[in-house]
Amino acid sequence: MIRFMLALAIGGLAACNNAQPEFEKLRDCDDCPELVVLPSGTFMRGAAPDDPAADQSEFPRHEVRIERPFAVATVAVTVAEFSAFAAATGHEPRGGCYTLTDDGWHVDEASNWRAPGFPQSPSHPVVCVSWHDATAYAAWMTERTGKPYRLPSEAEWEYAARGGTTDMNFWGNDDSLTCDYASVNDLTAKNKVAKVAEPCDDGFMYTSPVGSFLPNPFGLYDVVGNAWVWLADCWLGDYRLGPRDGSPNVAEKCGLRVLRGGSWTDTPGPVRIGARESRLPDERLSIAGFRLVRDLDQGPV
């Protein structure tokens, strides 16, 4: 608690020194996610040539323009929200999830989104869901509200996650601050699941309830850490041929889908906004969930 209160104070001082615009917020129903309306804009995507933590998929560095404003959920979809979807539609992801077991990381056929291999409350981000499960949820939200919900494009996700910043993470490059903003592989977890950790203690062994840490400058929580999120894009091995207008990369036959954001088990290096991951769209992972965006009928430019 002392650490979190101190972080709030630090965050308040940072906000005074780096004032960000207040964006419109909206909610389409009483139990729908809170959304932040983001304007169109530009950002630099891809790693700098001298970034030692980057891999080949993060090159070349280039400018992306988000052509249209959009609304993004302030937090990832939770266990409670996915449970409501499953109850309303009968959609039940099959069992089997890649998770941490007593024998290491394996696909455990007994694990699923209700029991991912560690305890979760209804307010934790849902994990052990596939890309297909995530898109089915978005379609249900569209039908339910009459508004166009979907998964973010990779460019939209990074634009939102960066919150107008340009460093390795939106809080800067100081690893000791990571635990004020993200659930990651920290010093507590190091002794049980990894030999390398962030030099801090975030207070959680696995996932944390959504919104437990300080937000980014756009008011979004857990854009780094907690759980990777599925995105709309088909995976490309680098940025040479990817769209530059904020739209997702699409392909008629898409073998792999993109995930971004990192998770509770990630260590220094992957805990970077620029880090990318790819997986088969039917894979289910205890380190991956999703966050929704919504198209706007007419928004600010």
Asked if the structure places residue 300 within a domain, the reply is no
3-state secondary structure the chain: CHHHHHHHHHHHHHHHHCCCCCCCEECCCCCCCCEEEECCEEEEECCCCCCCCCCHHHCCCEEEEECCCEEEECCCCEHHHHHHHHHHHCCCCCCCEEEEECCEEEEECCCECCECCCCCCCCCECCCCCHHHHHHHHHHHHHHHCCCEECCCHHHHHHHHHCCCCCCECCECCHHHHHHHCCCCCHHHHHHHCCCCCCCCCCCCCCCCCCCCCCCCCCCCCCCCCCEEEEEEECCCCCCCCCCCCCCCCCCCCCCEEEECCCCCCCCCCCCCCCEEEECCCCCECCEECCCEEECCCCCC
Asked if the structure places residue 301 within a domain, the reply is no
Asked if the structure places residue 222 within a domain, the reply is yes
- The predicted pLDDT at position 79 comes to 98
Rounded to two decimals, what is the model's pTM?
0.90
- The predicted pLDDT at position 12 comes to 44
Asked if the structure places residue 253 within a domain, the reply is yes
Run means of pLDDT, 10 residues per run, the chain, 301 residues? 40 46 91 97 95 93 97 98 98 92 91 96 98 98 98 98 96 90 82 65 92 97 97 97 96 94 82 95 98 81 39
Asked if the structure places residue 78 within a domain, the reply is yes
d(CA 124, CA 207): 7
**Strands 35-38 and 70-73, sheet pairing:** antiparallel
In this structure, what CATH number is given to the domain that contains residue 20?
3.90.1580.10
298 closest CA partner among 34, 22, 26:
26
- The predicted pLDDT at position 203 comes to 87
- The predicted pLDDT at position 267 comes to 72
Asked if the structure places residue 208 within a domain, the reply is yes
Asked if the structure places residue 174 within a domain, the reply is yes
- The predicted pLDDT at position 196 comes to 66
**Which residue segment(s) compose the domain that 151 sits in?**
2-295
Query: What's the structural domain count of the chain?
Result: 1
Asked if the structure places residue 207 within a domain, the reply is yes
